[in-house]
Amino acid sequence: QVQLVESGGGLVQAGGSLRLSCAASGRTFSTHAMGWFRQAPGKEREFVAAIYWSGSNTYYADSVKGRFTISRDNAKNTVYLQMNSLKPEDTAVYYCAADSNIATMLKALHNIDYWGKGTLVTVSS
């Protein structure tokens, strides 16, 4: 069992930066792929970024590539999302996710094992 708690959301002006954190409980964190997803009002939840269990591979949605960076610290059971050059269209609730299979993280959102409750990011223009 893995429990995920996100933090770091807030209000920021366009062009600004935020760093999201996701603290995980459970001994299996270091063997799970981790990801960030977001859901804007009236829209479906979408993939943002993911990282392999070892941190050796990272994946990004085209919309955030070059602006966002995902990383993890397995010693701290924490995954991060550094968000730079934020745009108003990045406004959404951001969710942390964990799954034992990176393919599920990338292609089967609805089958992901564990989800956090989300943290709101609002980018003003």
pLDDT digits (tens, 9 = 90+) for 41-100: 999 999 999 999 998 999 999 999 999 999 999 999 999 999 999 999 999 999 999 999
Q: Is the pLDDT of residue 27 over 80?
A: no
Tell me if 38 sits within 8 A of 47, measured CB to CB: no
Element at 103 (helix H, strand E): helix 102-107
Tell me if 48 sits within 8 A of 35, measured CB to CB: yes
CA distance 48 to 65: 9
Q: Is the pLDDT of residue 31 over 80?
A: yes
Q: Is the pLDDT of residue 30 over 90?
A: no
